[in-house]
Structure 1
Amino acid sequence: MRQSSVAFVVTVAFILFVAFHEPVCATNNYLWGEIGANDYKLAKDTVKKAFFVGLVQTKKYVFKQSDNLDALTITAIQITDKKKNNGATAELTSGGPGSKGATILFNSVRGYGINDVVEIWGR
């Protein structure tokens, strides 16, 4: 083989190695509803819970508005997972888009913590 052919084969082999062995960055981002142009950000909170070896961490996030007479209707809930790997899952257990409040349950991967940002939009 010529030197340029060897360099080409080595380069292709390296690219294939990186492509198949690079860890996949799987985050658990969620969007329930739709954020409209006229929507207001009602809340932005960070939900955190430290890891504990061998355990699944859970945390409940509750959004309530103080005055039901002036309460806005939720149009969207956006959750951004701040962990690059082994992020927590989120489940909307009550409320959400179309209602005045929401409850979200976060569950971590066993042995990992929770680090998510919750943004609630409404009008």
Structure 2
Amino acid sequence: MAKTINTVTLLGLFICCALVTSVYGGNDYLWGEIGPNDYHLAKDTVSKAFFVGLVQTKKYVFKQKNDLNALTITAIKVTDKKKSNGATAVLTSGGPGSKGATIVFTSERGSGIKDLVEIWGR
């Protein structure tokens, strides 16, 4: 009997932990691979305030100034700074292997956007 209770208790705790992680976990992304010889090209915060009942979107565009000497992107890392209801990020153009990138962020309904974008290249 005690063995059954312990198994049920452990299973219940596991399910609770999984639910808490899915509800409160951030939406972090990594496109590409950060190498030891890569340069940190950009570090920007993308944010947009919440508005009750609406889904917020924001476009982030990374362009290098000098196309002739532009470095090739090797990795893009997006870190969600919200503890709950974080935004999703979609790499819509460019990214690793190219000279620029466009990322579109979409919040959950009634939530805002607060993400850190870091870009590496060589």
TM tier relative to shorter chain? 0.7 to 0.9
Percent of paired sites with the same residue: 69
Structure 1 residues 12-23: aligned runs within 5 Å: 20-21=15-16, 23=20
Q: How does 1:16-95 map to 2 (within 5 A)?
A: 20-21=15-16, 23-24=20-21, 25-95=24-94
Give, in whole Å, the separation in 1 of the partners of 2:16 and 2:97: 43
Tell me how far 1:48 sits from its aligned partner.
0.4
Instruction: Please tell me the residue identity of whatever aligns with 2:115.
Output: D
Separation of aligned partners in 2, 1:14 and 1:76: 42
Instruction: Give the secondary structure class of the aligned counterpart of 2:53.
Output: coil
Describe the superposition over 1:34-83 as per-residue Cα deviations: whole angstroms up to 9, x where unpaired.
Answer: 00000000000000000000000000000000000110000000000011
Shift of 1:13: 9.2
Look up the equivalent residue of 1:92 and give its one-letter code.
L
TM-score (norm 2): 0.84
- The count of corresponding residues between Structure 1 and Structure 2 is 115
Unaligned runs of 5+ in 2: none
What is the Cα deviation at residue 17 of structure 1? 6.6
Alpha-carbon separation, structure 2, partners of 1:107 and 1:117: 14
Counterpart-to-counterpart distance in 2, 1:88 and 1:16: 30
Partners of 2:97 and 2:119 in 1: CA distance: 12
Give the Å deviation of 1:26: 1.6
Partner SS, residue 91 of structure 2: strand
Q: Select between 82-91 and 22-31 the one with higher mean Cα deviation.
A: 22-31
The structure number with the bigger radius of gyration is 1
Structure 1 stretch 45-54 or stretch 21-30: which is displaced more?
Answer: 21-30
Counterpart amino acid of 1:33? G
Distance 1:39 1:21 in 2: 40
- Structure 1: segments with no counterpart, 5+ residues: none
CA drift of 1:85 comes to: 1.2
